């Protein structure tokens, strides 16, 4: 199990790094948005590239931030039943959701979006807007994000199994692994 736990810890670190990139993408998108508004309304000048880079940064924020949200156990779930479960109950619910919903969906989305990204990369597809940007960087965010969430989901499965086997401790309030 130690190799599996090392993988889980490595994936936690990768997700944290992707989360930092996502945080910087939020800042960059905000600054670009403010600058674009100033230039557009103050100087009466505009470019579609500025609007599109905001869209790209939003894609990076969502897709690169999602693995960290899963790692921190801050994702959306219905707590009506989950909150009333005691002891190992929430962990079993998490395992069920991870194994039967998250991993299959993220695997499918990765499988569907990777060829889409490759096609854009090979073709050099450009935005149809005047002054628009090349599209593959935005398309890259999909398989990268879905793949990272899939791998973080595997790490979460490993941590929950390790908890059930008594190999690691978890925060009982949030059911997060104690690092």
Segment 12-40, tens digit of pLDDT: 999 999 999 999 999 999 999 999 889 88
Segment 15-21 long-range contacts (CB within 8 Å, at least 24 positions apart) = 15/67, 15/68, 15/70, 15/71, 15/148, 15/152, 15/155, 16/68, 16/71, 18/64, 18/65, 18/67, 18/68, 18/148, 19/64, 19/65, 19/67, 19/68, 21/60, 21/64
| 134 class by beta-carbon count within 10 Å (0-12 exposed, 13-18 middle, 19+ buried) | middle
59 closest CA partner among 139, 169, 168: 139
Can you give the pTM of this predicted structure? 0.87
User: What is the rounded distance in angstroms from the CA atom of residue 16 to the CA atom of residue 11?
Assistant: 8
Residue written as tokens 């949030």?
174
What is the structure's pLDDT at 176?
Answer: 52
Could you give the percent of the chain with pLDDT greater than 90?
61
Q: With 50 as the cut, is the pLDDT of residue 159 above it? A: yes
Domain count, the chain: 1
Provide the domain limits for residue 29: 2-177
User: What's the mean pLDDT when you consider all of the chain?
Assistant: 89
For residue range 41-74, list pLDDT tens digits in order.
888 888 888 889 999 999 999 999 999 999 998 8
CA distances from 29 to 102, 147, 148 (A): 29, 24, 22
Confidence of residue 178 (pLDDT cuts 50, 70, 90): low
Look-up: residue for tokens 């619910």? 93
């Amino acid at each position: 199990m130690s190799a599996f736990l090392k993988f889980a810890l490595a994936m936690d670190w990768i997700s944290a790094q992707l989360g930092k990139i996502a945080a910087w993408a939020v800042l960059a998108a905000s600054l670009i948005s403010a600058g674009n508004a100033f230039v557009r309304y103050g100087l009466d000048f505009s470019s579609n590239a500025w609007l599109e880079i905001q869209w790209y940064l939003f894609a990076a924020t969502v897709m690169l931030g999602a693995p960290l949200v899963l790692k921190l156990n801050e994702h959306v779930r219905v707590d009506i039943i989950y909150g009333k479960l005691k002891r190992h109950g929430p962990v079993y619910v998490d395992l069920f959701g991870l194994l039967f919903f998250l991993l299959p969906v993220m695997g499918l989305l990765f499988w569907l979006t990777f060829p889409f990204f490759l096609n854009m990369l090979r073709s050099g597809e450009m935005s149809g807007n005047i002054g628009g940007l090349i599209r593959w960087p935005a398309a890259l965010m999909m398989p990268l994000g879905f793949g990272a969430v899939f791998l973080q989901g595997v790490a979460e499965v490993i941590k929950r199994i390790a908890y059930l086997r008594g190999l690691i401790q978890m925060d009982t309030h949030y059911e997060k692994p104690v690092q």
